[in-house]
Structure 1
Amino acid sequence: MIKGFLFDLDGVIVDTAVFHFQAWRKVAQKLGGDFTEAQNEQLKGISRTDSLKKIIEWTQAEVSVLQFQELQEQKNRWYLDLIGGLGPEDALPGAIEFLRRTYSQGILIALGSASKNAPMVLEKLGVTELFSAVIDGNNVINGKPHPEVFLKGAEALGLEPSECLVFEDSIAGVQAAKQGGMSSVGIGEAETLNANIHFESLGETTPELLAAQF
């Protein structure tokens, strides 16, 4: 029986991919290269550290340990500047209504996101109080597809992994759910995500239907 929902943030509840793209592109250009939208798609669901490692590999730049840290911090500053005006109206279709309905049904809610800025984004969307637990990049050592973020989410809710349903838009996230022994709902392209069930957005389903199905 499903008792808890574990949500990825970006691409499921809100879409800040364009802001990540703009910030990472500045980093790539600073390293003397460029950064495409296709490359940005490859960074979905993985940590800032691992994302920067990929960009350095793509640009073939030589970066010291100190420069690596500075680039991470600079990217985050650019990203935070870009999302400064984020609000509830920027949530993906049906996302906030789905979260509120989930909460009203007594289903526990946790966030499982690679983003260290996740708590701030939830606050800007006005949904912080709906989450019983927030597991983000500050709480985990291993990024997706390792299941750590979702296993910690289940633990924080006091549930077994089999009692949790994961909502993800990335291949790495769906793989993390599977490795953690959890079923998954894919938000986005069915043919690439390979989740248990797929929807274009949270607005296409209800928590009651999903909880009963799994």
Structure 2
Amino acid sequence: MLGLPGHVTACLFDLDGVLTQTARVHNAAWTRTFDDFLRQRAAASGEPFQPFDPGPDYNRYVDGRPRADGVRSFLASRKIVLPEGTPDDPPEAETVNGLGNRKNVLLLQRLRDSGVEVYPGSVHYLKAATAAGLRRAVVTASANGAEVVAAAGLASLLEARVDGLVARDQGLRGKPHPDTFLAGAKLLGVDPAQAAVFEDALSGVAAGRAGGFGYVIGVDRVGQADELLAHGADRVVKDLADLLDIAEPLTPAARNSAAHHSAAERDPA
């Protein structure tokens, strides 16, 4: 009924983009942060301004990663190096942590202004998983995980949380490393092989595969099904509610078969 193999007894959900619609808010905050930084840098150097791309740049370098890792990864793509600073750097500091904190100020402002929207299909799936007796945890790179979960009204459906603050306190590496998902499984008292990972980010899917989890489900909100499969998803769906339908969601084998049949239809010979 839940679209999971029989050996799975626990679910580890990413937050932004899987349970809540805050991924678009994160994206907007990152875009504003990086564009302001890049525009100022271009004006000072006389080089052309090349804006942050909220599509490929966000998905490849930022999505699913801890703030500092996202800053570092994107700047490296532009061959820009900043001092690391510390997590307590003020938002105006020209450091990796300062830039990340600048983004967080914008994010919190946007969340206050627009609130937190959930994906109805995800709430439906969470309730079904709860009724089925599966263990449930949220695993997010966001340092605002507790606030977002509470604002979204999901606290009663989740038993445990591993977020950016927990990761920093425990020295856990961010996605694509599996550390935070492994910590989530430990909190639920299950082996990784008994847990399913639900992720919309390429780095998160890679983390699920690297951790040896029993099943990795990619949630394709932005049209990157092929990339999710390539990074290690066992199955890709548009929405978690699709897992409750009779029709089988997309798997690598099904995708290859569909491509083969499509080619045959185009060229009967």
Tell me the TM-score normalized by structure 2.
0.71
Q: CA deviation at 1:61?
A: 4.9
Aligned to 2:36: 30
**After the TM superposition, which residues 43-82 of structure 1 pair with which residues of structure 2 at under 5 Å, given as runs?**
43-58=62-77, 61=80, 63-64=82-83, 65=85, 67=93, 68=95, 69-82=97-110
Give the total of aligned pairs: 207
Aligned to 2:240: 202
CA pair 190-36 structure 1, distance change in 2 beyond 3 A:
closer
Give the aligned residue type for 1:186: G
Aligned to 1:125: 152
State the distance in 2 between where 1:167 and 1:109 align: 11
State the distance in 1 between where 2:147 and 2:119 align: 17
Aligned to 2:122: 95
Q: Structure 2 stretches of 5 or more lacking a match?
A: 1-6, 40-50, 249-269
Match for residue 150 of structure 1 among 159, 181, 191: 181
Q: CA deviation at 1:144?
A: 0.8
State the distance in 1 between where 2:31 and 2:78 align: 11
Deviation digits for residues 60-110 of structure 1 (CA, Å, limit 9, x no counterpart): 5563435223322221111011112324xx212411111112112211101
- Over the matched positions of the two proteins, sequence identity in percent amounts to 29
Tell me the TM-score normalized by structure 1.
0.88
Give the aligned residue type for 1:78: L
SS in 2 for 1:9: coil
Give the aligned residue type for 1:154: A
State the distance in 2 between where 1:78 and 1:24 align: 8
SS in 1 for 2:38: coil
The RMSD of aligned alpha carbons is: 2.1
Aligned to 1:192: 227
CA pair 202-60 structure 1, distance change in 2 beyond 3 A:
same
Larger Rg: 2
